Amino acid sequence: MEAFKDQLNRTIHLKDIPKRIISLVPSQTELLCDLGLESYLVGVTKFCVHPQHVKINVTVVGGTKQIQLEKIIALQPDIILCNKEENTKEIVEACQLICAVHVSDIFNIDDSVALIQQYGSIFNKEQEALKISNKIKSEMVDFKVFIQNKPVLKVVYFIWKNPWMVAASNTFIDYLLQLNQFENVFASKMRYPEIDILDFATNENIELVLLSSEPFPFKETHQKALQENYPNAKIILVDGEMFSWYGSRLTKAFTYFKSLRLNLQNNAL
């Protein structure tokens, strides 16, 4: 039997390399597939959309906040993969009664790389994990050179509507905003606070409003509707997966961030 520590410093005991995996986190599902573990997946969430075909071949066991325990039990998993932010404490505790549970906790690129390498160790995919990790680190180094002389922009990043909610400090999104030379106007607040979009005293200082594609699917109609609230800001739709998915999606994120910045530059604020 081998023991592993997850990112909450919980010890996981495994008799063998897990062959039946349930992933309750979309970005981690994509990572597992990119590690070559798709054939080991027996359960995913309804939000696991990458790769697109994964839900056709694998049982859907609910969402990230609500799961169908009977389905999970019937699948006889060897391990269930969770995330502290995505899944509730109650879900983790319920899953622990079924089999081993690994919980990730991600705030920055180092945490992301550590998770990828943990999966490499647990699932005997060290070389695949190393390749993905090295790609992410290389892309980030290159991006830091690209972004270093770009102007800092005052930004608000919306994740939800009714109530209006933003990404604030102590989030992976905020970490990536900082990497992009975006100054989060709500950095003094924690996590995902509700805000008043009629607060003109704050709004007039905002240079850029980012409307995420997830979890709320912002569209052009919202973009136009918000312009009167943010008279001095450029309002754009952004790919939420690039700003919040912390697995192998990060191999593509920095190229996206470069394009985003160049588009802003070419359409000067």
Delineate the domains of the chain, giving CATH numbers in brackets: 2-139 (3.40.50.1980), 150-238 (3.40.50.1980)
Average pLDDT in the 150-172 region?
97
Q: Is the distance from CB of 206 to CB of 185 less than 8 angstroms?
A: yes
What confidence category does residue 124 fall into, taking pLDDT thresholds of 50, 70 and 90? very high
Q: What is the pLDDT of residue 148?
A: 96
| pLDDT for the residue numbered 198 | 87
Query: Rounded distance, CA 102 to CA 79, Å?
Result: 7
Hunting for tokens 């798709």 — which residue is that?
38
Predicted confidence band of residue 269 (pLDDT cuts 50, 70, 90): low
**Average pLDDT along the chain:** 96
Secondary structure element (H or E) that encloses residue 165, with its range: strand 165-166
- Predicted TM-score of the model (pTM): 0.95
Tokens 């005293």 -> residue: 201
pLDDT band for 200, please (50, 70, 90 cuts): confident
> Measured between alpha carbons, how far apart are the two ends of the chain, in Å?
58
Distance (Å, whole) CA 168 – CA 36: 34
Instruction: State how far the Cα of 62 lies from the Cα of 95, in Å rounded to an integer.
Output: 13
User: How many Å apart are CA 67 and CA 87, to the nearest integer?
Assistant: 10
Question: Is pLDDT above 80 for 85?
Answer: yes
Model confidence band, residue 266 (pLDDT cutoffs 50, 70, 90): confident
